């Protein structure tokens, strides 16, 4: 079994990259159609990565070169690693016995930290401003995200589910069936918070303040080019798959209940449909419908409304459990 898991690791990484780039292409096509533009072809993200891979990798003279070159690799690797702990398609997580919700929560921080370090190591004032904004934004959305995750684990605990922080326990005991009417409303509020955190985690409009091309010339990635920029591009594509998979594991783990390979195939198709719907709602639709927030607005919406909504959801779940 261990050797099978080791062999599956590069397969999952490759599939995640392909799916991430494919969804990035779908995202760009849908956004263009919604804005009545022709837009790029579906394969444009693949072409962009190929073009960047064959371009010169320029390193700024004032950068901390080893950090500048290593952060894109760490960013992509850490993003893919998260998928090893999450159910993917109709398959159980590769490292499901070695990690839980707390580990996933910590791992979600690593790609954002690599971007912060990349910005500070590049020696560019634009990148430093972008890194500062990314750090502030990360500290803002992590709090409501943590409240939601802890709420799910608490619900499993009071429902006498063994090992409540285990992702296998979460996916094996869908939360919607563990609550009454008030708890159901509380879960809806927690889901809304996660859907609001997702574009911030992905750096999508209206939460793209660390990159803001019109203000800080690309921010964190202002000095990146060639292969390094391609790796960040790939990590950004995979992050969509990762965070959407987290939401699916927490709130929509349901399969079709069909056994055998037919069931695995059906559950995989259903998983990718869920993935597409989350991508469209939290990435495509919101960036077409809204304009960029200021960094002060980002901090406000995550620290005040989002935290209040998540705490209200937790309170409703608590009252529901007491009743």
pLDDT digits (tens, 9 = 90+) for 209-254: 777 666 566 677 878 888 888 888 898 888 888 888 888 888 888 7
Q: What is the mean pLDDT of residues 154-158?
A: 86
Query: What mean pLDDT value characterizes the chain?
Result: 82
**Residue 189's pLDDT band (cuts 50, 70, 90):** very high
Distances (CA, A) of 296 to 73, 136, 137, 222, 303: 31, 10, 9, 22, 11
Give the chain's domain count: 1
Q: What is the mean pLDDT of residues 155-165?
A: 83
Residues 6+ apart with CB under 8 A from 135: 116
Length of the chain, in residues: 323
C-alpha to C-alpha distance for 190 and 310, rounded to whole angstroms: 5
Share of the chain above pLDDT 90, in %: 3
**Residue 7's pLDDT band (cuts 50, 70, 90):** low
pLDDT at residue 257, as a whole number: 63
Has residue 260 got a pLDDT over 70? no
pLDDT at residue 240, as a whole number: 86
Has residue 110 got a pLDDT over 70? yes
Least confident interval from 96-100, 149-153, 311-315: 96-100
Domain span at residue 71 reads: 2-322
Has residue 158 got a pLDDT over 80? yes
Q: What is the mean pLDDT of residues 293-317?
A: 87
pLDDT higher at 171 or 4:
171
Going by C-alpha positions, the residue among 201, 17, 206, 197 that lies closest to residue 112 is 201
Using left for φ > 0, alpha for ψ between -120 and 50, and beta otherwise, residue 226 falls in left
């Amino acid at each position: 079994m261990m050797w099978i898991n080791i062999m599956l690791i590069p397969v999952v990484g490759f599939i995640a990259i392909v799916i991430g780039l494919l969804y990035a292409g779908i995202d760009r096509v849908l956004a263009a159609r919604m804005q009545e533009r022709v837009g790029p072809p579906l394969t444009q993200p693949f072409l962009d990565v190929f073009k960047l891979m064959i371009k010169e990798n320029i390193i700024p003279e004032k950068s901390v070169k080893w950090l500048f070159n290593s952060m894109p690799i760490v960013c992509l690797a850490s993003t893919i690693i998260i998928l090893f702990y999450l159910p993917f398609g109709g398959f159980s997580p590769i490292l499901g016995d070695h990690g839980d919700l707390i580990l996933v929560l910590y791992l979600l921080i690593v790609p954002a930290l690599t971007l912060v370090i990349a910005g500070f190591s590049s020696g560019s004032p634009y990148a430093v401003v972008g890194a500062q904004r990314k750090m502030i934004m990360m500290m803002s959305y992590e709090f409501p995200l943590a409240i939601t995750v802890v709420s799910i684990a608490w619900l499993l605990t009071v429902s006498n589910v063994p090992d409540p922080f285990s992702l296998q326990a979460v996916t094996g005991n869908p939360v919607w069936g563990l609550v009454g009417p008030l708890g159901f409303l509380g879960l809806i509020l927690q889901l809304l918070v996660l859907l609001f955190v997702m574009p911030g985690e992905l750096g999508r409009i209206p939460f793209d303040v660390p990159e803001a091309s019109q203000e800080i010339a690309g921010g964190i990635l202002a000095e990146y080019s060639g292969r390094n920029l391609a790796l960040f591009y790939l990590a950004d594509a995979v992050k969509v798959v990762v965070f959407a998979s987290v939401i699916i594991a927490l709130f929509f783990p349901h399969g079709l209940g069909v056994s055998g390979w037919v069931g695995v195939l059906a559950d995989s198709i259903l998983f990718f449909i869920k993935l597409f719907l989350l991508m469209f709602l939290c990435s495509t639709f919101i960036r077409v419908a809204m304009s960029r927030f200021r960094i002060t607005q980002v901090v406000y919406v995550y620290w005040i409304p989002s935290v209040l909504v998540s705490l209200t959801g937790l309170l409703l779940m608590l009252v529901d459990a007491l009743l």
